[in-house]
Amino acid sequence: MSLVEEINKRRTFAIVSHPDAGKTTLTEKLLLFGGAIQVAGAVKSNKIKRHATSDFMEIERQRGISVATSVMAFEYDDKKINILDTPGHQDFAEDTYRTLTAVDSAIVVIDVAKGVEPQTEKLVEVCRMRNTPMIVFINKLDREGRDGFELLDEIEDKLQLHVCPLSWPIGMGQRFKGVYNLYEQQLNLFQPHGKQEEEEIIAIRDTSSEQLDKHVGKAAADELRHDLEILHTVYPDFDRQKYLAGELSPVFFGSAINNFGVKELLDCFVNIAPPPKSRSTEERTVNPEEDQFSGFVFKIHANMDPKHRDRIAFLRICSGKFERNTNYLHVRQDRKMKFSNPTAFMAAKKSIIDEAFPGDIIGLYDSGNFKIGDSLTAGENLHFKGIPSFSPEQFRYINNANPLKSKQLDKGLLQLTEEGVAQLFTKEDNNRKIIGTVGALQFEVIQYRLEHEYGASCSYEPLSLHKACWITSDKKGALDKMLKERKKDIARDKDGNLVFLAESAWALKMAQENYPQIKFHFKSEF
The enclosing domain of 261 has a CATH number of 3.40.50.300
Q: Domain of 498: which CATH number? A: 3.30.70.3280
The pLDDT of residue 45 is 33
Higher confidence at residue 199 or residue 87? 87
Please indicate, yes or no, whether residues 441 and 356 belong to a single structural domain of this protein: no
Q: Determine, yes or no, domain membership for 213.
A: no
Please indicate, yes or no, whether residues 406 and 464 belong to a single structural domain of this protein: yes
CA distance 45 to 35: 23
pLDDT value at 241 more than 90: yes
Per the structure, the complete domain to which residue 285 belongs is given by 279-377
**Domain endpoint, select from 345, 377, 409:** 377
**Domain endpoint, select from 342, 377, 412:** 377
* In contact, 376 and 294? CB cutoff 8 Å: yes
Please indicate, yes or no, whether residues 295 and 355 belong to a single structural domain of this protein: yes
Please indicate, yes or no, whether residues 9 and 138 belong to a single structural domain of this protein: yes
The pLDDT of residue 201 is 60
% of the chain with per-residue pLDDT over 70: 82
Structure confidence by residue, pLDDT tens digits, 36-83: 554 434 333 333 333 444 444 454 445 444 334 567 888 888 899 888
Please indicate, yes or no, whether residues 11 and 121 belong to a single structural domain of this protein: yes
Q: Determine, yes or no, domain membership for 225.
A: no
Please indicate, yes or no, whether residues 312 and 333 belong to a single structural domain of this protein: yes
303: left (phi over 0), alpha (psi -120 to 50) or beta: left
Worst-scoring range by mean pLDDT, 5-14, 221-230, 267-276, 327-336?
221-230
Q: Determine, yes or no, domain membership for 468.
A: yes
Structure confidence by residue, pLDDT tens digits, 176-198: 777 888 887 777 776 665 443 44
Q: Determine, yes or no, domain membership for 216.
A: no
* In contact, 457 and 451? CB cutoff 8 Å: yes
The pLDDT of residue 285 is 92
Phi, psi of 230 (to 5 degrees): -65, -45
Mean pLDDT of 376-383: 92
Q: Determine, yes or no, domain membership for 204.
A: no
Q: Determine, yes or no, domain membership for 205.
A: no
The pLDDT of residue 396 is 92
The pLDDT of residue 301 is 75
pLDDT-derived band at 522, boundaries 50, 70, 90: confident
pLDDT value at 214 more than 60: yes
Q: Into how many domains does the chain fold? A: 3
Please indicate, yes or no, whether residues 424 and 303 belong to a single structural domain of this protein: no
Please indicate, yes or no, whether residues 120 and 245 belong to a single structural domain of this protein: yes
3-state helix, strand, coil in the chain (%, to 5): 30, 30, 40
Q: How many CA atoms lie within 13 A of 97 on its CB side?
A: 22
Structure confidence by residue, pLDDT tens digits, 396-433: 999 998 888 889 998 888 877 777 777 889 999 899 99
What is the distance, to the nearest Å, from the Cα of residue 248 to the centroid of all Cα atoms in its chain?
21
Please indicate, yes or no, whether residues 61 and 159 belong to a single structural domain of this protein: yes
Please indicate, yes or no, whether residues 341 and 488 belong to a single structural domain of this protein: no
**Domain endpoint, select from 272, 299, 334:** 272
Mean pLDDT of 438-459: 83
Question: Across-strand partners of 178?
Answer: 170, 189
The most confident of the ranges 12-26, 185-199, 345-359 is 12-26
Please indicate, yes or no, whether residues 315 and 428 belong to a single structural domain of this protein: no
The pLDDT of residue 322 is 94
Mean pLDDT of 436-464: 84
Q: How far is CA 227 from CA 109, 145, 171, 188, 238, in A?
A: 22, 17, 11, 16, 17
Q: Determine, yes or no, domain membership for 47.
A: yes
The pLDDT of residue 74 is 83
Worst-scoring range by mean pLDDT, 134-138, 154-158, 253-257, 287-291?
253-257
Mean pLDDT of 13-21: 82
Higher confidence at residue 474 or residue 87? 474
Please indicate, yes or no, whether residues 39 and 90 belong to a single structural domain of this protein: yes
Pairing of strands 322-323, 355-356: antiparallel
What is the distance, to the nearest Å, from the Cα of residue 171 to the centroid of all Cα atoms in its chain?
31
Q: Determine, yes or no, domain membership for 385.
A: no
pLDDT-derived band at 29, boundaries 50, 70, 90: confident
Whether the model pTM is above 0.85: no
The pLDDT of residue 349 is 58
The pLDDT of residue 145 is 87
Q: How far is CA 415 from CA 60, 264, 308, 311, 361, in A?
A: 19, 41, 15, 8, 21
